[in-house]
Amino acid sequence: MSKKLVFVFKDVLNGTVKAQEFLDIIMMAAAFDLSISLIFIGDGAYALLKNQRTEEINSKNILPIMQALSIYDINNIFVDEISLQERAILAERIIPQVSLITREKSQFEISSADHVFSF
Amino acid sequence: MKISVQINASPYQYQASDSAWHFIQAALLGGHEVFRVFFYHDGIYNALHDARAPADEQQIVKRWSELNAKHNVDLVVCVSSAQRRGLLESSVAKKVNGYEKALANGFRIAGLGLLMEAVIDSDRLVTFGA
Amino acid sequence: MLHILNKSASGSTALQTCLQFAQKNDAIILIENAVLAAHQCPQSIWREPFGEEVKVYVLKEDLAARGLTESDCLEFISVIDYQGFVELVCQHKPIKSWF
């Protein structure tokens, strides 16, 4: 049985190479046919906002890649709904490929991983 | 246990490299196998051949080289992180600018596939960063 | 699971967020600047009571480096060394580092 990897995003990804380097790991994990989940918590919820005009700071926009992850069979993209509520972010403001999950499900998702990558 | 370590931060600027090294020493002392240390993001700066800290400071790069020499711990620098930051594998370095020896002894440059292998083959992977 | 914290409560939201997600039988270890969170003082961020469902550990070497001692620490926090850190890693899965 292949290992379950969970990628936890706790912060925004703008302005640095981190976003790309995190995605590189996710893509490589997909190539190895491992079970993959992405979960956005805390300020990581902001990373999912639509209409990020990253060209304003000459930064790479990773949203298009995030939205295309299903091509790589990565369909488990979650956001902790309490993190959204705390930041007054309505569901319609984030990309549609993300599923809202409860705090309990968020905790379970992370704790049931074989390995957690933290960003 | 088979333990691997990922290091995401540069030496001296952050304590991560130091914490990782001490953790690895304790793991080896405890009889565990340290399968691989994978240097990612700014962690690649742990592998600079020409790093020269003052004599009364931690010789962080040298310590890694010694870890590899003494315990055969596999020290892998991620090629994409390295290239982005100007650390080139010797054959590439030679071609590009004639400077061959950029990587400290005991390190090798490879792709993220080796990180995945560490995840798959190890019982635990501990990340040190900033 | 094991949560590894390395930043102080004032240096990052990591500890605060970790506490929101930690579950019963998890363990937390404070290393590097996060050891400051082990200090018993008015600005302490731990909600009472703590330590029964989630065991908290602090790294001895990092405490000492910052001039703190075991007696400075909150009662529910156990002081361990790097060997203890390795044992925690072996006892828990998964391991999550918070930054």
| Residues of the domain holding A95 | 4-118
Q: Domains in chain C, start-ordered, CATH in brackets?
A: 2-98 (3.40.1260.10)
Q: How far apart are CA C84 and CA B109, in angstroms?
A: 32
Query: pLDDT tens digits, residue range B97-115?
Result: 654 578 899 999 999 999 9
Contact between chains at B22 and C99 (C-beta distance less than 8 A): no
Instruction: Output the six-digit token pair for C31.
Output: 């290393």
A107 touches chain C (CB under 8 A): yes
Contact between chains at C14 and A8 (C-beta distance less than 8 A): no
Mean per-residue pLDDT, B22-44: 98
pTM score, whole prediction: 0.95
CATH number at residue B103: 3.40.1260.10
- Residue C11: what pLDDT? 87
Contact between chains at B23 and C90 (C-beta distance less than 8 A): no
The CB density around residue A31, as the number of other CB atoms within 10 Å, is 12
Query: pLDDT tens digits, residue range C30-81?
Result: 999 999 999 998 888 887 667 789 999 999 999 999 999 999 999 999 999 9
Contact between chains at B26 and C31 (C-beta distance less than 8 A): no
Q: By the 8 A CB rule, do C93 and C67 touch?
A: no
What rounded mean pLDDT belongs to chain A?
94
Please tell me what DSSP assigns to residue C48.
S
- Residue A18: what pLDDT? 86
Closest residue in chain A to residue B115, using alpha carbons only: A25
Q: How many domains does chain A have?
A: 1
| Residues of the domain holding B47 | 2-128
Q: How far apart are CA A40 and CA B15, in angstroms?
A: 26
Would you tell me the crossing angle of helices B60-71 and B16-29 to the nearest 10 degrees?
20
Q: How many domains does chain B have?
A: 1
The answer to whether residue A36 scores a pLDDT higher than 90 is yes
Q: Calculate Rg over the CA atoms of chain A.
A: 14
Which chain C residues are within 8 Å of B32, Cβ to Cβ?
86, 90
The residue of C18, C96, C97 whose CB has the most chain A CBs within 10 angstroms, and thus the best one to mutate to test that interface, is: C96
Pick B112's closest partner by Cβ from A18, A28, A34.
A28
Kind and range of the H or E element at B68?
helix B60-71
